[in-house]
Amino acid sequence: MVDQARRTQSRRDLDRNERFSDISPDVGSIDIVAFDELMEEDPDEALTMLAAMAQATDRDLARLAKQLASRLVLDLARIGPARSRGTGRLVRMPASVDRTDLDIDESMDAIVGARADRRPVSLDDLTATGWQRPSTSVCLLIDRSGSMNGERLAAAALAAAACSYRAPVELAVLTFSDRVIEIKALNEKRDIDAVVGDVLSLRGHGTTDVALALKAAGRQLARSTAQRKVTVLLSDAEVTAGRDPVPGARALDELIILAPSDEARHADVLSRSAGARMGLLDGPSSLVGTLRSVLA
């Protein structure tokens, strides 16, 4: 109970932001009009405050904030043209002995023609349906070492939502410090709003073992059938535990590091050493555009 109280945000803590009383004038309430005004005026402050409220000791406030934050980050993640969704989609293809889903409508002319000629139907004349493999799989690694403040939580939630639109079928979301926890495994079926909700519930803890996280990402993506396998590391990449992360980074097909622009020194060293790409974040609201740019 003491630990839980220490890790949540009391109204007194939240009230240190002078705009908090406008957004939540009463216990367990959010003024949507006031929040929308702040979102238009300063989206980074609005997102940061909302993520902090999602960890409020006031349970009603935390519930409302988490619901609003989940909807908001999903909407923000949709901004801009989506790349190929890469879903395992049903497509037509030539029939073969290992494709048992015959497309009767597309094959009917061939079947009727063969019957009329009193000959066996050739596989070459038939059409089957099958699942086309995804074009992209993504493993998102969220650094939860140290303190998960409102800004980091908002960025992490946006990252999860944005990655889900890049890889809606084969997406893994892992959080790490000195150990790795699965929020969503690569082939696990979970609604993205549930994943975002779990991200918003993260508590900061432990040291930073980047090598361990990269190894876990490699294991996740080894299950993938996608043509493109991307690891997205949301971290300043400062190693405080474990082994040198460079060998693990080099072993990945594709690594993208998203780091705060004012804490990017270690991320820059890792990206240069491992041949990774890096995007700099100037607040949570920049994440979607930055990720889209480095993924292109």
Domain that holds residue 221: 136-295
Is there a single domain that holds both residue 284 and residue 201?
A: yes
* Measured distance CA(175)–CA(3) in Å, rounded: 20
pLDDT at 168: 85
Whether the CB-CB separation of 239 and 209 falls below 8 Å is answered with yes
Residue found under tokens 């009009």: 33
Which of 71-75, 212-216, 236-240 shows the lowest per-residue confidence on average (mean pLDDT)? 71-75
| Res. 266: pLDDT tops 60 | yes
Task: Indicate the pLDDT class of residue 224, thresholds 50, 70 and 90.
Answer: very high
Is there a single domain that holds both residue 218 and residue 111?
A: no
pLDDT at 7: 60
Residue 262, domain member (yes or no): yes
Whether the CB-CB separation of 244 and 214 falls below 8 Å is answered with no
pLDDT in tens, 189-218: 999 999 999 999 998 989 999 999 999 999
Calculate mean pLDDT across residues 138-160. 93
Q: Which two tokens stand for residue 39?
A: 């979102």
Supply the CATH number for residue 210's domain.
Answer: 3.40.50.410
- Which residues on neighbouring strands pair with residue 280, listed in sequence order? 259
Is there a single domain that holds both residue 157 and residue 127?
A: no
Residue 82, domain member (yes or no): no
Among 67, 44, 47, 63, which residue's Cα sits nearest to residue 55?
A: 63
Is there a single domain that holds both residue 58 and residue 194?
A: no
Is there a single domain that holds both residue 121 and residue 173?
A: no
Is there a single domain that holds both residue 208 and residue 114?
A: no
Chain centroid, CA 94 distance in Å:
35
Last residue of a domain, one of 100, 132, 164: 132
Is there a single domain that holds both residue 158 and residue 263?
A: yes
Is there a single domain that holds both residue 197 and residue 237?
A: yes
Could you please report the per-residue DSSP string of 247-269? HHHHHSS-EEEEEETTS-HHHHH
* Measured distance CA(190)–CA(169) in Å, rounded: 10
Is there a single domain that holds both residue 98 and residue 70?
A: no
Whether the CB-CB separation of 293 and 260 falls below 8 Å is answered with no
Q: How many helices (H) and strands (E) does the chain have?
A: 13, 8
Calculate mean pLDDT across residues 66-92. 65
Is there a single domain that holds both residue 221 and residue 236?
A: yes
* Measured distance CA(194)–CA(178) in Å, rounded: 24
Residue 125, domain member (yes or no): yes
pLDDT at 135: 83
Is there a single domain that holds both residue 112 and residue 143?
A: no
This prediction has a pTM of 0.78
Residue 142, domain member (yes or no): yes
How many domains does the chain fold into? 3
Is there a single domain that holds both residue 280 and residue 163?
A: yes
* Measured distance CA(141)–CA(233) in Å, rounded: 5
Q: What residues contact residue 289 under an 8 Å CB cut-off, 6+ apart? A: 79, 80
Q: Which two tokens stand for residue 230?
A: 């991307």
Which of 114-123, 134-143, 214-223 shows the lowest per-residue confidence on average (mean pLDDT)? 114-123
Calculate mean pLDDT across residues 102-124. 67
| Res. 101: pLDDT tops 80 | no
Whether the CB-CB separation of 159 and 171 falls below 8 Å is answered with no
Residue 84, domain member (yes or no): no
CA atoms within 13 A on the CB side of 102: 14
Residue 83, domain member (yes or no): no
